[in-house]
Amino acid sequence: MAFFKKYEFIIAWRYLMSKRREGGISIIAWYALIGVVLGVATLVIVQAVMIGFRIEFVEKIIGANSHLAIYKKTLSSDLDKRFYVEEVQNIMQDLRNKKNFKAAYPLVKGQVLASKSNNSAGVEVYGLRKGDLLEIELVNKPTSSEGSMENFNDGVAIGAQIARKLNISINDTIKLISPNGAKSVFGTIPRVNVYTVKYIFSVGRYDIDSTRIYMPMKDAQVFFNRVNQADLIEVLLNNPFDVDEFKSNVEDELAERYLLWSWKERTAAFLDALDLERRVMFIILSLIVLIAAMNIISGLVMLVKNKGRDIGILRSLGLTRSSILRVFFICGSLIGVVGTVLGVIIGMLFVTYINEIQWLVEYVIGSSVWNEEIRFLTQVPAKLRIEDVVFALVVSLSISFVITIFPARKAASMDPAEALKYE
Protein backbone atom coordinates (compact mmCIF):
# COMPACT_ATOMS: atom_id res chain seq x y z
CA MET A 1 0.00 0.00 0.00
CA ALA A 2 1.45 3.37 -1.02
CA PHE A 3 2.39 5.73 1.81
CA PHE A 4 0.98 8.73 -0.08
CA LYS A 5 -2.52 8.47 -1.55
CA LYS A 6 -3.45 9.82 -4.97
CA TYR A 7 -6.12 12.15 -3.57
CA GLU A 8 -3.54 13.68 -1.21
CA PHE A 9 -1.43 14.72 -4.22
CA ILE A 10 -4.54 16.12 -5.95
CA ILE A 11 -5.52 18.20 -2.90
CA ALA A 12 -1.94 19.43 -2.37
CA TRP A 13 -1.61 20.45 -6.02
CA ARG A 14 -4.92 22.37 -5.94
CA TYR A 15 -3.79 24.22 -2.80
CA LEU A 16 -0.45 25.16 -4.37
CA MET A 17 -1.95 26.39 -7.61
CA SER A 18 -4.97 28.24 -6.15
CA LYS A 19 -4.96 32.03 -6.39
CA ARG A 20 -4.31 34.22 -3.38
CA ARG A 21 -7.90 35.46 -3.29
CA GLU A 22 -8.92 31.81 -2.95
CA GLY A 23 -6.63 31.36 0.04
CA GLY A 24 -3.74 29.95 -1.99
CA ILE A 25 -0.03 30.82 -2.03
CA SER A 26 0.83 30.59 -5.72
CA ILE A 27 2.99 33.78 -5.68
CA ILE A 28 4.85 32.80 -2.52
CA ALA A 29 5.31 29.27 -3.89
CA TRP A 30 6.91 30.69 -7.03
CA TYR A 31 9.25 32.89 -4.96
CA ALA A 32 10.24 29.88 -2.84
CA LEU A 33 10.77 27.75 -5.96
CA ILE A 34 13.00 30.36 -7.63
CA GLY A 35 15.01 30.79 -4.42
CA VAL A 36 15.66 27.04 -4.12
CA VAL A 37 16.56 26.78 -7.83
CA LEU A 38 19.10 29.60 -7.62
CA GLY A 39 20.55 28.34 -4.33
CA VAL A 40 21.03 24.76 -5.53
CA ALA A 41 22.38 25.86 -8.93
CA THR A 42 24.92 28.13 -7.22
CA LEU A 43 25.92 25.31 -4.88
CA VAL A 44 26.54 22.93 -7.81
CA ILE A 45 28.43 25.54 -9.86
CA VAL A 46 30.71 26.72 -7.05
CA GLN A 47 31.55 23.17 -5.96
CA ALA A 48 32.35 22.20 -9.56
CA VAL A 49 34.60 25.24 -10.03
CA MET A 50 36.39 24.66 -6.72
CA ILE A 51 37.00 21.00 -7.59
CA GLY A 52 38.05 22.04 -11.09
CA PHE A 53 40.59 24.44 -9.63
CA ARG A 54 42.10 21.74 -7.46
CA ILE A 55 42.22 19.09 -10.19
CA GLU A 56 43.62 21.55 -12.75
CA PHE A 57 46.32 22.77 -10.39
CA VAL A 58 47.33 19.24 -9.42
CA GLU A 59 47.45 18.13 -13.08
CA LYS A 60 49.63 21.11 -13.99
CA ILE A 61 51.86 20.59 -10.96
CA ILE A 62 52.54 16.91 -11.63
CA GLY A 63 52.59 17.35 -15.40
CA ALA A 64 55.07 20.23 -15.61
CA ASN A 65 57.27 19.55 -12.57
CA SER A 66 59.17 16.71 -11.01
CA HIS A 67 57.37 14.49 -8.52
CA LEU A 68 60.32 14.21 -6.16
CA ALA A 69 63.40 16.44 -5.86
CA ILE A 70 66.69 15.36 -4.26
CA TYR A 71 68.98 18.02 -2.74
CA LYS A 72 72.28 17.83 -0.94
CA LYS A 73 71.80 18.08 2.82
CA THR A 74 74.50 20.60 3.77
CA LEU A 75 74.83 24.03 5.31
CA SER A 76 78.34 24.67 4.03
CA SER A 77 79.48 26.30 0.77
CA ASP A 78 77.64 26.23 -2.55
CA LEU A 79 80.20 23.79 -3.93
CA ASP A 80 79.22 21.19 -1.34
CA LYS A 81 75.55 21.51 -2.37
CA ARG A 82 76.22 20.43 -5.93
CA PHE A 83 76.04 16.94 -7.41
CA TYR A 84 78.94 15.55 -9.44
CA VAL A 85 78.59 13.14 -12.35
CA GLU A 86 79.57 9.98 -10.47
CA GLU A 87 77.26 10.81 -7.57
CA VAL A 88 74.32 11.44 -9.91
CA GLN A 89 74.88 8.15 -11.70
CA ASN A 90 75.01 6.19 -8.44
CA ILE A 91 71.77 7.71 -7.14
CA MET A 92 69.95 7.19 -10.43
CA GLN A 93 71.12 3.58 -10.57
CA ASP A 94 69.64 2.95 -7.11
CA LEU A 95 66.36 4.62 -8.04
CA ARG A 96 65.88 2.53 -11.21
CA ASN A 97 65.33 -0.59 -9.11
CA LYS A 98 62.46 0.95 -7.16
CA LYS A 99 58.78 0.30 -7.80
CA ASN A 100 56.85 3.12 -9.51
CA PHE A 101 60.06 4.73 -10.86
CA LYS A 102 59.71 6.35 -14.29
CA ALA A 103 62.72 8.63 -14.85
CA ALA A 104 65.35 10.69 -13.06
CA TYR A 105 67.69 13.37 -14.30
CA PRO A 106 70.18 15.95 -13.00
CA LEU A 107 69.14 19.58 -13.23
CA VAL A 108 70.96 22.89 -13.31
CA LYS A 109 68.73 25.70 -12.11
CA GLY A 110 69.11 29.45 -11.85
CA GLN A 111 67.27 32.75 -11.97
CA VAL A 112 68.28 35.27 -14.63
CA LEU A 113 67.07 38.33 -16.48
CA ALA A 114 65.81 37.70 -20.01
CA SER A 115 65.73 40.58 -22.49
CA LYS A 116 64.91 41.28 -26.12
CA SER A 117 65.26 44.79 -27.56
CA ASN A 118 63.82 47.10 -24.88
CA ASN A 119 61.76 44.40 -23.14
CA SER A 120 62.91 42.35 -20.16
CA ALA A 121 61.52 39.82 -17.66
CA GLY A 122 62.77 37.81 -14.71
CA VAL A 123 62.85 34.09 -15.58
CA GLU A 124 64.02 30.76 -14.21
CA VAL A 125 66.34 28.62 -16.31
CA TYR A 126 66.17 24.82 -16.14
CA GLY A 127 69.18 23.08 -17.64
CA LEU A 128 68.63 19.45 -18.61
CA ARG A 129 69.18 16.99 -21.44
CA LYS A 130 66.80 16.75 -24.37
CA GLY A 131 65.77 13.18 -23.55
CA ASP A 132 64.94 14.22 -19.98
CA LEU A 133 62.89 17.19 -21.20
CA LEU A 134 60.80 14.82 -23.33
CA GLU A 135 59.85 12.97 -20.13
CA ILE A 136 58.08 16.08 -18.78
CA GLU A 137 54.58 15.46 -20.05
CA LEU A 138 53.11 18.95 -20.27
CA VAL A 139 56.21 20.39 -21.93
CA ASN A 140 56.44 17.57 -24.46
CA LYS A 141 52.65 17.63 -25.06
CA PRO A 142 51.61 21.18 -24.11
CA THR A 143 48.30 22.97 -24.49
CA SER A 144 49.82 24.82 -27.45
CA SER A 145 53.29 25.13 -28.92
CA GLU A 146 55.43 26.58 -31.71
CA GLY A 147 58.61 25.17 -33.20
CA SER A 148 59.97 21.69 -32.61
CA MET A 149 61.55 19.90 -29.66
CA GLU A 150 63.87 18.19 -32.14
CA ASN A 151 65.91 21.42 -32.35
CA PHE A 152 66.18 21.85 -28.57
CA ASN A 153 69.94 21.22 -28.47
CA ASP A 154 70.48 24.15 -30.84
CA GLY A 155 68.85 26.75 -28.61
CA VAL A 156 66.32 27.07 -25.78
CA ALA A 157 62.63 26.38 -25.10
CA ILE A 158 60.63 29.20 -23.51
CA GLY A 159 57.13 29.67 -22.08
CA ALA A 160 54.49 31.30 -24.26
CA GLN A 161 53.97 34.22 -21.88
CA ILE A 162 57.70 35.02 -21.95
CA ALA A 163 57.53 35.04 -25.74
CA ARG A 164 54.54 37.37 -25.59
CA LYS A 165 56.14 39.75 -23.09
CA LEU A 166 59.42 39.98 -25.01
CA ASN A 167 57.80 39.79 -28.46
CA ILE A 168 59.80 36.70 -29.46
CA SER A 169 59.09 34.23 -32.26
CA ILE A 170 60.73 30.97 -33.32
CA ASN A 171 64.42 31.42 -34.35
CA ASP A 172 64.59 34.83 -32.65
CA THR A 173 67.37 35.37 -30.14
CA ILE A 174 66.96 36.00 -26.42
CA LYS A 175 69.60 37.52 -24.16
CA LEU A 176 70.07 36.00 -20.69
CA ILE A 177 71.88 37.94 -17.96
CA SER A 178 73.02 36.29 -14.74
CA PRO A 179 74.23 38.53 -11.87
CA ASN A 180 76.40 35.68 -10.52
CA GLY A 181 79.15 35.98 -13.09
CA ALA A 182 82.90 35.94 -13.05
CA LYS A 183 84.73 37.63 -10.16
CA SER A 184 87.41 40.18 -10.89
CA VAL A 185 89.32 42.94 -9.13
CA PHE A 186 86.47 45.25 -10.09
CA GLY A 187 83.84 43.01 -8.50
CA THR A 188 81.45 40.45 -9.95
CA ILE A 189 80.89 40.81 -13.67
CA PRO A 190 77.41 39.68 -14.80
CA ARG A 191 77.41 36.76 -17.21
CA VAL A 192 75.63 37.51 -20.49
CA ASN A 193 74.84 35.17 -23.35
CA VAL A 194 72.51 35.05 -26.34
CA TYR A 195 70.48 31.97 -27.33
CA THR A 196 68.16 31.09 -30.20
CA VAL A 197 64.55 30.24 -29.34
CA LYS A 198 63.70 26.87 -30.91
CA TYR A 199 60.53 25.94 -29.05
CA ILE A 200 57.70 27.92 -27.44
CA PHE A 201 55.27 26.03 -25.17
CA SER A 202 52.18 26.75 -23.10
CA VAL A 203 51.17 24.35 -20.32
CA GLY A 204 48.12 26.41 -19.31
CA ARG A 205 49.53 27.78 -16.03
CA TYR A 206 50.49 31.43 -16.16
CA ASP A 207 53.25 31.20 -13.53
CA ILE A 208 55.03 28.48 -15.54
CA ASP A 209 54.44 29.95 -18.98
CA SER A 210 55.68 33.37 -17.87
CA THR A 211 58.86 32.36 -16.01
CA ARG A 212 60.30 29.10 -17.31
CA ILE A 213 63.08 28.58 -19.86
CA TYR A 214 64.57 25.16 -20.64
CA MET A 215 68.18 25.07 -21.78
CA PRO A 216 70.40 22.15 -22.89
CA MET A 217 72.35 20.75 -19.96
CA LYS A 218 75.82 21.52 -21.31
CA ASP A 219 74.91 25.12 -22.14
CA ALA A 220 73.39 25.63 -18.69
CA GLN A 221 76.47 24.18 -16.98
CA VAL A 222 78.69 26.62 -18.86
CA PHE A 223 76.39 29.61 -18.31
CA PHE A 224 76.03 29.01 -14.55
CA ASN A 225 79.62 27.78 -14.08
CA ARG A 226 78.50 24.25 -13.19
CA VAL A 227 80.75 22.20 -15.47
CA ASN A 228 80.19 18.48 -14.73
CA GLN A 229 77.90 19.48 -11.87
CA ALA A 230 74.17 19.71 -11.12
CA ASP A 231 72.14 21.56 -8.50
CA LEU A 232 69.64 18.78 -7.80
CA ILE A 233 68.21 15.51 -9.09
CA GLU A 234 64.57 15.37 -10.17
CA VAL A 235 62.52 12.16 -10.20
CA LEU A 236 59.38 11.34 -12.19
CA LEU A 237 57.00 8.53 -11.16
CA ASN A 238 54.51 6.43 -13.07
CA ASN A 239 51.89 7.24 -10.43
CA PRO A 240 52.67 10.64 -8.84
CA PHE A 241 49.95 10.20 -6.21
CA ASP A 242 51.98 7.36 -4.64
CA VAL A 243 54.97 9.64 -4.12
CA ASP A 244 54.85 9.24 -0.32
CA GLU A 245 55.23 5.46 -0.61
CA PHE A 246 58.10 5.84 -3.09
CA LYS A 247 59.78 8.40 -0.85
CA SER A 248 59.60 6.10 2.16
CA ASN A 249 61.16 3.27 0.10
CA VAL A 250 64.24 5.33 -0.82
CA GLU A 251 64.52 7.43 2.33
CA ASP A 252 66.46 4.82 4.30
CA GLU A 253 69.22 4.88 1.70
CA LEU A 254 69.29 8.60 0.92
CA ALA A 255 67.95 10.49 3.95
CA GLU A 256 71.29 10.63 5.75
CA ARG A 257 73.02 12.73 3.06
CA TYR A 258 70.17 14.07 0.97
CA LEU A 259 66.95 16.00 1.41
CA LEU A 260 63.91 14.53 -0.41
CA TRP A 261 61.09 16.92 -1.24
CA SER A 262 57.91 15.63 -2.91
CA TRP A 263 55.37 17.58 -4.95
CA LYS A 264 52.80 17.04 -2.20
CA GLU A 265 55.07 18.70 0.36
CA ARG A 266 55.83 21.51 -2.06
CA THR A 267 52.14 22.31 -2.57
CA ALA A 268 50.61 21.03 0.69
CA ALA A 269 49.72 24.46 2.15
CA PHE A 270 48.16 25.63 -1.10
CA LEU A 271 46.09 22.46 -1.68
CA ASP A 272 44.96 22.39 1.97
CA ALA A 273 43.81 26.01 1.60
CA LEU A 274 41.80 25.07 -1.50
CA ASP A 275 40.14 22.16 0.32
CA LEU A 276 39.30 24.34 3.32
CA GLU A 277 37.88 27.05 1.08
CA ARG A 278 35.72 24.49 -0.76
CA ARG A 279 34.26 23.18 2.52
CA VAL A 280 33.56 26.67 3.82
CA MET A 281 31.90 27.67 0.55
CA PHE A 282 29.71 24.55 0.70
CA ILE A 283 28.55 25.47 4.20
CA ILE A 284 27.86 29.09 3.23
CA LEU A 285 25.94 28.12 0.09
CA SER A 286 23.98 25.49 2.03
CA LEU A 287 22.86 28.31 4.32
CA ILE A 288 21.71 30.20 1.21
CA VAL A 289 19.62 27.17 0.23
CA LEU A 290 18.25 27.11 3.80
CA ILE A 291 17.30 30.79 3.63
CA ALA A 292 15.61 30.27 0.25
CA ALA A 293 13.73 27.26 1.63
CA MET A 294 12.43 29.38 4.53
CA ASN A 295 10.00 30.87 2.04
CA ILE A 296 8.40 27.42 1.98
CA ILE A 297 7.66 27.68 5.72
CA SER A 298 6.15 31.16 5.42
CA GLY A 299 4.02 30.01 2.48
CA LEU A 300 2.79 26.90 4.27
CA VAL A 301 2.02 28.77 7.50
CA MET A 302 -0.11 31.19 5.46
CA LEU A 303 -1.71 28.30 3.58
CA VAL A 304 -2.62 26.50 6.81
CA LYS A 305 -4.17 29.70 8.19
CA ASN A 306 -6.17 30.37 5.00
CA LYS A 307 -7.31 26.77 4.62
CA GLY A 308 -8.57 26.28 8.19
CA ARG A 309 -12.16 25.86 6.97
CA ASP A 310 -11.07 23.36 4.29
CA ILE A 311 -9.12 21.37 6.87
CA GLY A 312 -12.20 21.20 9.10
CA ILE A 313 -14.36 19.99 6.20
CA LEU A 314 -11.79 17.38 5.15
CA ARG A 315 -11.57 16.08 8.71
CA SER A 316 -15.37 15.93 8.88
CA LEU A 317 -15.39 13.90 5.66
CA GLY A 318 -13.15 11.31 7.30
CA LEU A 319 -9.57 12.34 6.54
CA THR A 320 -7.26 11.44 9.39
CA ARG A 321 -4.66 13.71 10.98
CA SER A 322 -1.98 11.73 9.12
CA SER A 323 -3.67 12.43 5.77
CA ILE A 324 -3.85 16.16 6.52
CA LEU A 325 -0.17 16.13 7.53
CA ARG A 326 0.76 14.36 4.30
CA VAL A 327 -1.26 16.83 2.18
CA PHE A 328 0.61 19.84 3.54
CA PHE A 329 3.91 17.95 3.60
CA ILE A 330 3.44 17.31 -0.14
CA CYS A 331 2.72 21.02 -0.69
CA GLY A 332 6.08 22.06 0.76
CA SER A 333 8.03 19.07 -0.52
CA LEU A 334 6.89 19.61 -4.12
CA ILE A 335 8.42 23.09 -4.06
CA GLY A 336 11.67 21.71 -2.65
CA VAL A 337 11.87 18.72 -5.01
CA VAL A 338 11.06 20.68 -8.18
CA GLY A 339 13.37 23.53 -7.16
CA THR A 340 16.21 21.14 -6.33
CA VAL A 341 15.91 19.19 -9.60
CA LEU A 342 15.74 22.37 -11.70
CA GLY A 343 18.65 23.86 -9.75
CA VAL A 344 20.81 20.79 -10.34
CA ILE A 345 19.97 20.78 -14.08
CA ILE A 346 20.73 24.49 -14.46
CA GLY A 347 23.93 24.14 -12.43
CA MET A 348 25.14 21.19 -14.53
CA LEU A 349 24.37 23.02 -17.79
CA PHE A 350 26.20 26.12 -16.55
CA VAL A 351 29.27 24.07 -15.60
CA THR A 352 29.22 22.21 -18.94
CA TYR A 353 29.21 25.45 -20.94
CA ILE A 354 31.12 27.63 -18.47
CA ASN A 355 33.85 28.65 -20.91
CA GLU A 356 31.32 29.58 -23.60
CA ILE A 357 29.44 31.64 -20.99
CA GLN A 358 32.71 33.31 -20.00
CA TRP A 359 33.46 34.27 -23.61
CA LEU A 360 29.90 35.56 -24.09
CA VAL A 361 30.09 37.73 -20.95
CA GLU A 362 33.48 39.11 -22.00
CA TYR A 363 32.11 39.87 -25.47
CA VAL A 364 29.07 41.68 -24.04
CA ILE A 365 30.96 43.80 -21.49
CA GLY A 366 33.98 44.28 -23.74
CA SER A 367 36.62 43.31 -21.16
CA SER A 368 38.13 40.25 -19.52
CA VAL A 369 36.50 38.72 -16.45
CA TRP A 370 39.29 36.20 -15.92
CA ASN A 371 42.73 37.57 -15.08
CA GLU A 372 45.15 34.71 -15.71
CA GLU A 373 48.02 36.65 -14.13
CA ILE A 374 46.23 36.46 -10.77
CA ARG A 375 44.64 33.01 -11.05
CA PHE A 376 47.53 31.33 -12.92
CA LEU A 377 45.14 29.32 -15.14
CA THR A 378 44.28 30.42 -18.66
CA GLN A 379 40.56 29.59 -18.38
CA VAL A 380 37.90 28.85 -15.77
CA PRO A 381 38.27 25.23 -14.63
CA ALA A 382 35.16 23.27 -13.67
CA LYS A 383 34.72 19.58 -12.94
CA LEU A 384 31.36 17.92 -12.31
CA ARG A 385 31.55 14.98 -9.92
CA ILE A 386 28.62 12.68 -9.22
CA GLU A 387 29.28 12.75 -5.48
CA ASP A 388 29.11 16.56 -5.38
CA VAL A 389 25.83 16.64 -7.32
CA VAL A 390 24.33 13.92 -5.11
CA PHE A 391 25.50 15.75 -1.97
CA ALA A 392 23.86 18.99 -3.17
CA LEU A 393 20.66 17.04 -3.88
CA VAL A 394 20.66 15.42 -0.45
CA VAL A 395 21.34 18.70 1.37
CA SER A 396 18.63 20.64 -0.48
CA LEU A 397 16.00 17.89 -0.23
CA SER A 398 16.77 17.31 3.44
CA ILE A 399 16.33 21.01 4.21
CA SER A 400 13.09 21.14 2.20
CA PHE A 401 11.62 18.04 3.88
CA VAL A 402 12.58 18.99 7.43
CA ILE A 403 11.27 22.56 7.35
CA THR A 404 8.00 21.36 5.81
CA ILE A 405 7.18 19.06 8.74
CA PHE A 406 6.44 21.83 11.28
CA PRO A 407 3.65 23.71 9.44
CA ALA A 408 2.25 20.36 8.23
CA ARG A 409 2.00 19.13 11.84
CA LYS A 410 0.26 22.36 12.80
CA ALA A 411 -2.33 21.74 10.09
CA ALA A 412 -2.83 18.15 11.22
CA SER A 413 -3.34 19.21 14.85
CA MET A 414 -6.24 21.58 14.06
CA ASP A 415 -9.55 20.63 15.70
CA PRO A 416 -12.28 20.37 12.99
CA ALA A 417 -14.95 21.68 15.39
CA GLU A 418 -12.84 24.72 16.19
CA ALA A 419 -12.10 25.30 12.49
CA LEU A 420 -15.82 25.22 11.57
CA LYS A 421 -17.13 27.02 14.65
CA TYR A 422 -17.79 30.31 12.85
CA GLU A 423 -18.84 28.86 9.46
pLDDT tens column, 341-395? 999 999 999 988 887 887 787 778 776 656 554 455 556 778 888 888 898 898 8
Same domain, yes or no, for 388 and 294?
Answer: yes
- Tell me the C-alpha to C-alpha distance, in Å, between residue 395 and each of 44, 298, 332: 11, 20, 16
pLDDT band at 195 (very low <50, low <70, confident <90, very high): very high
Residue 333 inside a domain? The answer is yes
Of 224, 256, 288, which closes a domain?
Answer: 256
Number of folded domains in the chain? 2
Of 343, 358, 344, 357, which is closest to residue 386 (Cα–Cα)? Answer: 344
User: Which range is least confidently modeled, 151-165, 179-193, 301-315, 371-385?
Assistant: 371-385
Name the 3-class secondary structure at 239: coil
pLDDT, residue 374, reads 45
pLDDT of residue 269: 84
DSSP 212: E
Asked, for residue 10, whether it belongs to a domain, the answer is yes
- For residue 139, what are the β-bridge partners? none
Q: How far apart are the first and last CA of the chain?
A: 36
Domain limits for position 34:
6-59+270-419
Q: What is the pLDDT of residue 236?
A: 93
Distance CA 335, CA 283 (A): 22
Look at residue 139 and tell me if it is in a domain: yes
Distance (Å, rounded) from C-alpha 61 to C-alpha 45? 24
Does 150 lie in the same domain as 299? no
Q: Are residues 39 and 148 in the same domain?
A: no
206 and 298 share a domain? no
- Residue 113 has a pLDDT of 92
Q: What's the pLDDT score for residue 26?
A: 63
Identify whether the C-beta of residue 242 lies closer than 8 Å to the C-beta of residue 102.
no
- My answer on whether 78 and 174 are in the same domain is yes
Average pLDDT, the chain: 82
pLDDT band at residue 422 under the 50/70/90 scheme: very low
Are 375 and 274 in contact by the 8 Å Cβ rule? The answer is no
Q: What is the pLDDT of residue 155?
A: 92
Furthest CA-CA distance within the chain? 111
Residue 64 maps to a domain:
no
Q: Is residue 233 part of a domain?
A: yes
- Percent of the chain with pLDDT strictly greater than 90: 25
Same-domain check for residues 237 and 379? no
Confidence band, pLDDT 50/70/90 cuts, at residue 417: low
For residue 366, give the amino acid letter: G
DSSP state of 98: S
The answer as to whether 1 is a domain residue is no
pLDDT band at 24 (very low <50, low <70, confident <90, very high): very low
Q: Are residues 311 and 354 in the same domain?
A: yes
Q: Is residue 120 scored above 80 in pLDDT? A: yes
CA distance 420 to 423: 5
Buried b (16+ CB within 10 A) or exposed e, 18-27: beeeebbbee
Same-domain pairing of 171 and 298: no
Residues 195 and 322 in one domain: no
**Co-location of 78 and 43 in the same domain:** no
CA separation for the pair 195, 4 (Å, rounded): 78
Average pLDDT over residues 218-244: 91
CA dihedral 221, 224, 229, 233 (to 10 degrees): -90
What is the pTM assigned to this prediction?
A: 0.72
46 shares its domain with 85: no
